[in-house]
Structure 1
Amino acid sequence: MLIIGPHLSIAGGFTKAGQEAVKINANTFQFFTRNPRGGKAKALDPEDVAGLRQIMAAHQFGDLLAHAPYTLNMCSATPKTREFARMVFKEDLLRLEELPCELYNFHPGSHTGQGVEQGISWITQILNEEMWPEQKATVVLETMSGKGTEIGRSFEELKMIIDQVALKDKMGVCLDTCHVYSGGYDVVGNLEGVLEDFERIIGLNYLKCLHLNDSMMPFNSNKDRHQKIGLGTLGINAFKQIVIHPQLKDLPFFLETPQEVAQDYQKEIELLRSF
């Protein structure tokens, strides 16, 4: 069965988020580890976590995806910003040891004018100092659209990060359909070619999950504007080809489309399952 779910708030607890996922026919979900603009994470409630575990077991959930806050920028030119990123990253990984969540996604960040090589050096320094061999979670780099000084706009940049990380077995990639299309990878007209490039440059064994998002912006625009499935420049057929592709269909898919309430995701989930 397709493993698919939305981005859900955990403000009301993990058990409530799990119940919400079941109501809309999802069998996974993504959540922010804390406020997306940063701040202190809410203390974990063991009973709440146990409730989520029960729901996941009863409904055959796939892997959940924890998303780091947007303010996490490991490659900033500002030392204070990098140290905040280090603190959040380390704290989040420790919290995931207590949660039924195997994937931790973060945006590589913006090098803020230092250049890609220096930015990647800062990123990998933190990864190498804060990751440990026995950690449960796989750290997942998200593909980016390439706006401004973002790192992760190309498969080559993600490969540079992975190459410099000692614990490569704890690393992975999340392919965001909106971002890669805006970044110049034609998943609409040449999905096979994009996957061949990914395999050649990074290796498909590192692809751990996908963000399914249509885009408001044209191909190769380097702009990150998500749209509902089928209403943007990627179109319905592109998503059909993605979710039935033999190299992708068994990976978990996460929706980050602009919805007002969680129930609005249900139509998209049903559409994607129909393929």
Structure 2
Amino acid sequence: MDGMRLGAHVREDADPIGTAEAMGADLLQMFVTDPQDRKMPKPAPHPDAERIRSSPIDVVVHSSYIINVASLNNRLRMPSRKAVEQQAAAAAEIGAFGLVVHGGHLGDGDDDAQGFENWAKLFERQADKGGFGVPILIENTAGGDHAMARTLESIERLWDAVGGFDQAGFCLDTCHAWAGGEDLVGLVERIKNITGRIDLIHLNNSRDEFDSGRDRHANLESGHIDADVLVEIVRAVGAPVILETPSEGVADDLAYLRSALS
């Protein structure tokens, strides 16, 4: 598949371009701040920003894990909105083509309609400021009864809320879909019938069985998902691919995928 961009999440933040070059990646995914920091601090300028911007390797940024713009808790939702704005600006600063943000979740007893409305408000309020620095690629999630983007039904409701905004995109994670109980065969068509688009693939196998609700990634040929099914998803989507598989095997995963697609 000529022109297919294949890459991986780069955990070596000190030299992301060098790490991506060493594994022969066309693109990389990285963080712009500590993804586990519950305070969600404003990202500092990346010390290697000019090299990242000028490299032929494309970049996408993954947001902090704690972000939850759907939450009905003001103490989480409001900082989450600000963090998305700031991390999108930092992503633009290094020339990234998008910011991946998890769909989020609600608490027991919360009105899920308000959660979907909160997603719409994220885009509405930022539009008043001139928009985000880069498109926001909403990622499907693996578990939780009150998740905003686990099932196709929840994704459809989410897209009813945000699909009309120009900067809303979609990131399909194969491990998350599998763990969330969605059959991967034909999934691309079913999602595109809802969203009209898939902008990025997180291509991951799963360490756990179907519908486990557990988000534990495996290398492409070593998990519970048939590797041939993963390859067919890449063919069907035709979007950039990021591997988030265990680091000790990610270079082999990239080589396997290139060979399978050739």
- TM-score normalised per structure 1: 0.84
Other-structure match for 1:33: 32
**Structure 1 pair 44–167 and aligned structure 2 pair: CA distance change class (3 A):** farther
- What are the ranges of 5 or more consecutive residues in structure 2 without an aligned counterpart? none
**Alpha-carbon distance between aligned partners in 2 of 1:86 and 1:202, rounded to the nearest angstrom:** 22
Per-residue displacement from partner, 1:214-235 (whole Å, max 9, x unpaired)? 0112222222221111111102
Q: Which of 203, 212, 219 in structure 2 is aligned with 1:228?
A: 219
How many residues are matched? 254
Specify whether residues 52 and 73 from structure 1 end up closer, same or farther in structure 2 by C-alpha distance, changes over 3 A only: same
TM-score by length of 2: 0.88
Deviations 1:3-31 (A, max 9, x none): 1111113642xxx2111101111111111
Task: Name the SS of the counterpart of 1:94 in structure 2.
Answer: helix
> How much does 1:209 deviate?
0.5
8 Å CA contact 1:212, 1:253 repeated in 2 = yes
Give the Cα separation in 2 of the matches to 1:197 and 1:55: 35
Would you say the 8 A contact 1:213–1:255 is kept in 2? yes
What residue number does 2:53 align with?
53
CA deviation string 1:128-168 (max 9, x = no partner): 21245554411111011232422101233233333323852
Task: Give the C-alpha shift of residue 98 in structure 1.
Answer: 1.8
Q: Percent identity?
A: 25
Q: Map residues 119-158 of structure 1 onto 2, 5 A cutoff.
A: 119-131=115-127, 135-158=132-155
Q: Secondary structure at the match of 1:75?
A: coil
8 Å contact kept, 1:215–1:234: yes
For 1:202, the aligned partner's letter is T
Aligned match of 1:177 in 168, 174, 190?
174
Does residue 1:269 correspond to 2:257, yes or no?
A: no
Cα RMSD of the aligned pairs, angstroms, is 2.1
Q: What stretches of structure 1 move > 3 A for 4+ residues in a row?
A: 131-136
8 Å contact kept, 1:6–1:256: yes
CA distance in 1 between partners of 2:153 and 2:74 (Å) = 26
Partners in 2 of 1:102 and 1:10 — Cα distance? Answer: 20
Give 1:272 shift.
Answer: 0.3
Corresponding position: 1:6 with 2:8: yes
2:230 paired residue among 225, 239, 245: 239
Could you say if the C-alpha distance between residues 273 and 139 of structure 1 is closer, same or farther in structure 2, counting changes exceeding 3 Å? same
Match of 1:217 in 2: 208
Q: CA distance change for structure 1 residues 150 and 95 in 2, over 3 Å: closer, same or farther?
A: same
Question: What does the per-residue CA deviation read over 1:86-123, in whole Å, with 9 as the maximum and x for residues that have no partner?
Answer: 12011112223322101111111111121321211222
Letter in 1 for 2:258: R
Which residue identity does 1:53 align to in structure 2? Answer: R
Q: Deviations over 1:184-211 (max 9, x none)?
A: 2211xx2xx32231232222xx210000
SS at match of 1:207: coil
Q: Which amino acid aligns with 1:198?
A: I
Match for 2:134: what amino acid?
A
